[in-house]
């Protein structure tokens, strides 16, 4: 069998949109030394493909990081298959908070140098000596302690639409960058409670070990991340200290944790927390766009991109041929052309 998808992505996306199949979105990770990630990757593909699993999985010598969608009728079979792998037996499975079953449209398993790019030399510290895991109730109690510093270990575009109250949300593009920023920012506060959180827990798993290594005394991490926290506060009727949306790296691009909208449309400035990618494949900028602007600009980030997608597909391909635009994520001050001037008001240059 082919150990990769051969069907055009646009066809698969359309198939997913029209599908009535009930699916459940799951994420899990495990740090574990793999002797041969390539062999493990191929075996994993065969196991999951036969169960109809879709999603994105990273495999490396240090373990596995997975975000997937499973046909709901195959959930038990999937768990049995996963738990039959010794080092994954009993691994925590994070179920999505807000799930429409449309999170992934194909199965993609990649071998990487690391399951999360962190820029750290793992040989210089004990990656298993991580921080103290805390549940939702313990997190809330620590958050009320005046000696606690809460740090969001995610990227700026994630925390922009949702974060914990009173959290430090570094203005960074990558996890690698954040580690240094947090270290510099809190270098004189190593005796305080360092309470970290991320989406599902994997980034904090590595970060907490690193911060302990460089001298932070009291390091805590939210068990299961925002996903598990949201489920626990609901099940246990606890105070929800998270406001807004939890950004997720799949087709949904977000799941609502509270009704608060704390961000704004990057084009008109109205309250909005809906992320989207510019429909122009030569741009594909990730940004926040309200329904009115989506209609006005035909799901694009600008009039220029809207004009491009009106061209024949062949012409569009020629325009973007050979162009590598790199990481395309909106950031204030770096994509000023998105904000449109209000009617009757001239925009200052």
Q: Is 293 a catalytic residue?
A: no
Q: Give CA–CA dist 97/254, Å, rounded.
A: 10
Alpha helix (H) residue ranges in the chain: 9-18, 37-49, 75-83, 136-144, 156-159, 175-185, 202-213, 225-236, 291-296, 303-309, 313-320
- The residues that bridge with 27 in the sheet, in sequence order, are 67, 94
CB of 152 within 8 A of CB of 168? yes
- The residues that bridge with 66 in the sheet, in sequence order, are 28, 57
Q: Of the listed 130, 198, 272, 290, which one is catalytic?
A: 198
**Full DSSP string of 64-99:** EEEEEEEEGGGHHHHHHHHHTSGGGTT---EE-SS-
Residue whose pair of structure tokens reads 């991320």 in the numeric block: 198
CB of 89 within 8 A of CB of 28? no
Residue whose pair of structure tokens reads 């046909």 in the numeric block: 71
Q: Give CA–CA dist 321/328, Å, rounded.
A: 17
Residue whose pair of structure tokens reads 């051969």 in the numeric block: 6
Active site residues: 198
């Amino acid at each position: 069998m082919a150990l990769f998808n051969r069907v055009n992505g646009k066809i698969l996306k359309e198939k997913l949109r029209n599908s009535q199949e009930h699916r459940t979105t799951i994420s899990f990770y495990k740090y574990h030394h793999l002797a041969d990630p390539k062999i493990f990757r191929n075996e994993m593909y065969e196991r999951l493909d036969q169960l109809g699993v879709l999603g994105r999985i990273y495999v490396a010598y240090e373990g596995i990081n997975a975000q997937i969608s499973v046909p709901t009728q195959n959930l038990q079979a999937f768990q049995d298959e996963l738990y039959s792998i010794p080092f994954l037996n009993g691994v925590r499975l994070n179920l999505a908070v807000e799930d429409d079953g449309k999170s992934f449209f194909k199965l993609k398993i990649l071998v990487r140098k690391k399951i999360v790019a962190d820029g750290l030399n793992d040989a210089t510290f004990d990656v298993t000596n991580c921080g103290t895991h805390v549940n939702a109730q313990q997190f809330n109690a620590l958050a009320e302690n005046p000696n606690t510093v809460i740090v969001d270990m995610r990227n700026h575009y994630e925390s922009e639409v949702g974060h914990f109250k009173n959290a430090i949300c570094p203005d960074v593009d990558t996890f690698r960058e954040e580690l240094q920023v947090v270290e510099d920012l809190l270098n004189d506060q190593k005796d305080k409670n360092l309470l970290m959180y991320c989406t599902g827990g994997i980034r904090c798993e590595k970060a907490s070990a690193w911060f302990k290594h460089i001298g932070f005394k009291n390091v805590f991490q939210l068990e299961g991340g925002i996903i598990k926290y949201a489920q626990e506060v609901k099940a246990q009727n606890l105070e929800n200290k998270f406001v807004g949306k939890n950004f997720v790296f799949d087709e949904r691009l977000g799941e609502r944790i509270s009704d608060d909208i704390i961000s704004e449309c990057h084009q008109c400035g109205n309250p909005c927390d809906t992320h989207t990618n510019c429909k122009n494949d030569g741009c594909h900028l990730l940004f926040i766009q309200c329904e009115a602007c989506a209609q006005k600009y035909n799901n694009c980030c600008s009039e220029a991109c809207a004009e491009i997608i009106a061209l024949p597909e062949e012409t569009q391909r020629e325009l973007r041929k050979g162009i590598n635009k790199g990481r395309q994520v909106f950031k204030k001050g770096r994509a000023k052309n998105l904000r449109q001037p209000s009617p009757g008001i001239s925009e200052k240059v």
